A = this chain, B = another copy of it.
């Protein structure tokens, strides 16, 4: 791996105060989230700057809303690596755009790993500030899922998570696992692993078996 990429990853890690192994996962997650925003912008024929903005909104929008709600400094305001990560996602779509469909399973996996990590980051940050457990679960969900909602609002589509995927529910389930583990005295590392595993497992099962939440039928 190139030196500048290592530096970039380490800078991300330093800001988050997370073990270095997390940083690589976070880079992959941010990249995968950004890719999903950039791809949709590309389908709408946005220009490359617009695609960059939508990619960033997708990748860092959830964490931004979380930090505003928690009343703490917004995480990316002192760390340029997220902007660079999203710019790389634009380049990736420009250069490898025609291979993206073939890579769909890979992106789904990266996106899911990102979701699991963002969920855990949101939960830990909220608990560390002394908020109640259910607020932490909600903030995990906001960190993981709100970016996709902002993306869909910006491209003027109905937010997909309200209809098609077990996405936010995977976050909530992972959040409950974390909070329960915390209650029974497990360490933060074990909780993070169990919770992440649950999010990944649930999302993969949901896609494989076409799980869907019941639709609230319009009787009117």
Contact = CB atoms under 8 A, between A and B. Distances in A.
B156 A38 contact: no
Interface stretch (A13-21, A66-74, A116-124, A188-196): A66-74
Copies in the complex: 3
Interface residues of A, number: 60
A201 to B, nearest CB: 18
Given A64-B69, A163-B46, A77 B216 contact: no
B162 A54 contact: yes
Nearest to A214: B48
A79 to B, nearest CB: 9
Interface in A70-85: 70-71, 73-74, 77-78, 80, 83
Shortest beta-carbon contacts, A-B, top 9: A50-B162, A47-B213, A46-B162, A42-B216, A97-B219, A43-B218, A156-B158, A51-B216, A98-B219
